Amino acid sequence: MNEIRASDAMLTDWREAAGRFERAVGSAVLGQDRAIRLLTIALFARGHVLLEGDVGVGKTTLLRAVARALGGAYERVEGTVDMMPTDLVYHTYLADDGRPRVEPGPVLRQAEDLAIFFFNEINRARPQVHALLLRLMAERSLTAFNREYRFPHLQVFADRNRVEREETFELPAAARDRFLMEIGLEAPRDPAVRRALVFDPRFHDTDALIAAIDGEVLDHAALPGIAAAIQHGIQASPAIETYVVNLWEALVRPSQAGIRLPDIDMDALVQGGASPRGVAFLVRAARVRAWLEGRDWLVPEDIRAIFPEVMAHRVFLEPIYEMRRAAIVPELCRAVFETVPAP
């Protein structure tokens, strides 16, 4: 009884901390409340996040702000065409004495304290680099210098520019599946926010802006523990389990669920994807959302709030529809929620 009460109190404290964290990030990144909420959910669900958006909408600023508010060691690399996996792991150079040296690269430099690994422009890196990330993301471990490194606190944040297609490499399906969320970032629509972003000098100097954020609002070392407590503390009723399974079924086999979209052959729309790992991620993130909303049980709204970001990038369409993916998949997600009965 005492333990439960202590755990309840801890969860309440952490919920307040999460609110402080969101406010801290929101003070630096205007008009991205939804993206900040989703990033907070990803942090407490211990999931990796891929940010996608236009040029200059604040992808990097948002991730830097999150890293600053979270505290912990932080590393960042820029994806390029000539980057190789070893560039991430090792740093090779000629020392002052003229001898070649091999030292830990960006991933290993902070050793096992690494909390956030930020991969900028991930689609510019080659598939070899993506392959290295697979293990880093799935198992949070890496073998280098003849030993195994473990990164218990690691979360990979990546961003991707969706405008350019030249000299870029599409992420393999396996790598995309390992990201908890793909968050699309749009420039804010609110005119007041737009005016502030353009005219307020505070937003022109990104370094100063990030430095102004309260550092270490959350204790990054305690995050895995609290994340596990959340997953155990939030109850899922049989009704919500049925609901999630029905959603999954409707997403993979939309025609059998009675979903019709204009100009699309529903029988030949979804090729695959929506893996069990993806649905497990979905429930994990939904539990965090329920916790952030102050509930200790899941409701369908929790699922719906995070569904597009968690599931959309895991659905693979037939090639004929893949080019129109950006329009079709959100429609499909919306139709799934309009079709599957809630209780």
Partner 1 sequence: MRRSWLSRLITTPDRVDQPTDSVGASNAGPLSRKERVGVMYASRPGRSTGSGFALLVILLVGASVPAQAQVRALEIRTPRPFGYFLGDLVRAQVDLVVEPGFTVQIPSLPQPGALTYWLDLRDIAVTQAASGDARRIRLDLTYQTFYAALDARALEIPGFTITLVDETDRGATTARAEVPPWSFNISPLREVQPPAREDPRSYLRPDGQVSPRDPRPLLVGAAGSAFLALLALAGLARDRTWWPFGARRSRPFGVAARRIRALARRPDAASAYGEALTALHRAMDSTAGRRVLADDLDAVLARRPAFRREADALARFFAASRQTFFGPGPEAGQRTVSLREVASLAGRLARAERAA
The one among 20, 271, 297, 324 contacting partner 1 by CB under 8 A: 297
Inter-residue contact 48 to 159 (CB < 8 Å): no
34 binds partner 1 (CB under 8 A): no
Q: Which stretch binds partner 1 (CB under 8 A): 17-25, 48-56, 92-100, 296-304?
A: 296-304
Read off φ and ψ for residue 75, nearest 5 degrees: -130, 155
What b-and-e string marks burial along 143-157, b requiring 16 or more CB atoms within 10 Å of the CB?
Answer: ebeeeebebebbbbb
Read off φ and ψ for residue 264, nearest 5 degrees: -130, 135
Torsion on CA atoms 146, 148, 149, 152, rounded to nearest 10:
180
Inter-residue contact 62 to 24 (CB < 8 Å): no
245 binds partner 1 (CB under 8 A): no
CA distance 305 to 12: 21
338 binds partner 1 (CB under 8 A): yes
Q: Smaller CB distance to partner 1: residue 88 or 298?
A: 298
Q: Smaller CB distance to partner 1: residue 142 or 340?
A: 340
Q: Smaller CB distance to partner 1: residue 237 or 271?
A: 237
Concatenating the DSSP letter of every residue in 279-328 gives HHHHHHHHHHHHHHTT-SB--HHHHHHHHHHHHGGGEEE-HHHHTTHHHH
Query: Which residues is 141 bridged to in the sheet?
Result: 150
* Shortest reach from residue 253's CB to partner 1, in Å: 18
340 binds partner 1 (CB under 8 A): yes
Inter-residue contact 108 to 73 (CB < 8 Å): no
The one among 79, 184, 300, 308 contacting partner 1 by CB under 8 A: 300
Q: Smaller CB distance to partner 1: residue 100 or 341?
A: 341
Q: Which stretch binds partner 1 (CB under 8 A): 30-38, 73-81, 145-153, 236-244?
A: 236-244
The one among 240, 259, 282, 288 contacting partner 1 by CB under 8 A: 240
Q: Smaller CB distance to partner 1: residue 191 or 343?
A: 343
Nearest Cα neighbor of 256 from 242, 243, 266 is 266
Binding mask 196-235 for partner 1 (x = CB under 8 A): ----------------------------------------
In sequence order, the 6+-apart residues with CB closer than 8 A to the CB of 93 are 100, 101, 103
Q: Which stretch binds partner 1 (CB under 8 A): 56-64, 76-84, 146-154, 334-342?
A: 334-342
Instruction: Note the residues at the interface with partner 1 (CB under 8 A).
Output: 237, 239-240, 295, 297-301, 304, 337-343
